[in-house]
Amino acid sequence: MNAPSHEAEAGIQQVKLLIEGEWKASTTQEWRDVINPATQQVLARVPFATPEEVESAITAAQRAFPAWRKTPIGARMRIMLAFQALIRENLPRIAQTLSAEQGKTLADAEGDIFRGLEVVEHACSIGSLQMGEFAENVANEVDTYTLRQPIGVCAGITPFNFPAMIPLWMFPMAIVCGNTFVLKPSEQDPLSTMQLVELALEAGVPPGVLNVVHGGKDVVDALCTHSDIKAVSFVGSTAVGTHVYDLAGRHGKRVQAMMGAKNHAVVLPDANREQTLNALVGAAFGAAGQRCMATSVVVLVGKTREWLPELKERAARLKVNAGCEPGTDIGPLISKRARQRVLDLIESGIFEGATLLLDGRDVQVPGYEQGNFVGPTLFSSVTTNMRIYTEEIFGPVLLAIEVETLDEAIELVNRNPFGNGTGLFTQSGAAARKFQSEIDVGQVGINIPIPVPVPFFSFTGSRGSKLGDLGPYGKQVVQFYTQTKTVTARWFDDASVSEGVNTTITLR
């Protein structure tokens, strides 16, 4: 962390807070550089907001709530319609920023924004998504119906790896349901998130409905414990997600926490070899493996173990370079620290006896010598007690495990504590049906390597990858961001005959 910088002097942008519709310069003494991971160029400085600044963001959201919850649903929806159009229009510009601060390729940065844009598009259907239920005549002249009402101020805490998609999982659906919001973006790459927030204001989100504070643990803990925050959405690592879930839960909030992963792809001998190998390489090494749904373990069933040399060959062909360079397949890791952690884990794999088939540790990237690069790395002979298997690596490292049968593969995947995503590659409908039924993982791909559902479904990671029962986006998140009120009503008409006093609990 750095001393406060003087913007004019250093020529480096200071990221602002957004409080009650105004962009505020933080008065904090704690700042962190936002760094281009391919070049180490400082792109901006991000403040760690003071307790008073966090308090005023929550107060602004609380003040905006009564009027916003009464804003007609069509008016809220039309803001989302304007927002999605603005995102589409500005997508190439935001992708440039995202690629520069996060490292992923320009095409993948566009994909990051597009997957978030799809959630905003879905938010435009809020008219039908937020409908209640109605049952007529549940007793004499009695009807029962439900209202889906907003819950108040919600908070969102997001990770570095999808700085567009994940904030867009959260605040559009929360506010279109009539809530107000305080967003805490990743301090590692907040710039593209802030460009999206600017567009939300331009689309018509009123002052105080969306607020942004920056920072780390102190800011997150303040959001998790403040009495005016009613719900917390978190996406990030398992350690932090568990802390957020416990802390916010203890303070009476609804919490959803999407966390770390170890995603297995199971390959059966009847799978289409060409398509499967390409899918595995893309899903394991794309975004330098920094996706919660990246394939990190390939389970080779039977004679598909013979595919390993070809898998290695295809992985070795990937081009490692800065995300802005044409033809790049793998960009840098987010930070020097993240790179060192991945290198340490590779070392541990060698030490613990796995076979290093492809070694990405010494990759050279001319023109970007300072970048946080690790090339594609492939291990075989991996056992489930090795650190490379028990820990999430979050880098371009694929582990291969060989088994004899589909049953053995299912048993292996189900024994792993994480449950984010998994895939089966096969041409057998019967094998696919058995797999989808018996596998204990929340998101299953059949010949699809990264089965992230589109937004009219919900993100459904499970077991060690998730705390809380309702997932982001889709119908589940409408439930998460609303409270159901049940109304039981009797309207007497003049002809109704009074049946006298009823001292039982029965409705007549």
Task: Give the binding site for ligand NAD (CB under 6 A).
Answer: 157-162, 184, 186-187, 216-217, 220, 235-237, 240, 243, 258-261, 292, 392, 394, 420, 459, 461, 465
Closest CA to 162 of 13, 293, 295: 293
Phi, psi of 155 (to 5 degrees): -125, 150
3 state SS of 187 = coil
Alpha helices in 317-363 (DSSP H): 336-351
User: How far apart are alpha carbons 455 and 173 in whole angstroms?
Assistant: 11
Taking the CA atoms of residue 402, residue 403, residue 406 and residue 408 in that order, the dihedral angle to the nearest 10 degrees is -130
Phi, psi of 380 (to 5 degrees): -120, 180
Cβ 166 to ligand NAD shortest distance, Å: 6
CB nearer to ligand NAD: give 29 or 272: 29
Beta-strand relationship, 17-19 and 22-24: antiparallel
- Nearer of residues 111 and 260 to ligand NAD, judged by Cβ: 260
Q: Which pairing describes strands 142-150 and 377-380: parallel, antiparallel, or unpaired?
A: unpaired
For ligand NAD, the closer of residues 130 and 443 by Cβ is 443
**Whole-angstrom distance, CA of residue 459 vs CA of residue 256:** 11
Complex with ligand NAD: residue 238 or 426, whichever CB lies closer:
238
Minimal distance, residue 218 CB to ligand NAD, in Å: 8
Is 235 or 268 the residue whose CB approaches ligand NAD more closely? 235
Active site (annotated) includes residue 292: yes
Q: Secondary structure of the chain: what % helix, strand, coil (to 5)?
A: 40, 20, 40
Which residue is listed with tokens 């039981």?
488
Among 124, 177, 224, 292, the one annotated catalytic: 292
N residues, the chain: 508
* Residue closest to ligand NAD when measured from CB atoms: 236
CA gap 392, 395 in Å, rounded: 9
Q: How far is the CB of 193 from ligand NAD (least distance, A)?
A: 10
Q: Cβ of residue 420: shortest distance to ligand NAD, in angstroms?
A: 5
Q: Report in angstroms how near the CB of residue 426 gets to ligand NAD at its nearest.
A: 25
Buried b / exposed e over 41-71, threshold 16 CB at 10 Å, is ebbbbbbbbbeebbbbbbbbbbebbeebbee
394 or 435: CB nearest ligand NAD: 394
Interatomic CA distance for residues 155 and 153, integer angstroms = 7
User: How far is residue 457's CA from residue 338's CA, in Å, rounded to a whole number?
Assistant: 32
| Both tokens assigned to 18 | 């957004």
Q: Which is nearer to ligand NAD, 129 or 240 (CB)?
A: 240
Rounded least distance, CB 144 to ligand NAD, Å: 36
Which residues are registered as beta bridge partners of 444? Answer: 422
Q: At what angle do helices 273-285 and 308-316 cross, to 10 degrees?
A: 50
CB of 293 to ligand NAD, least distance (A): 7
Helices 73-102 + 106-123 axis angle, to 10: 170
CB nearer to ligand NAD: pick between 148 and 466: 466
- Residue with token string 């062909």: 317
Q: How far is the CB of 234 from ligand NAD (least distance, A)?
A: 7
List residues with catalytic annotation: 292
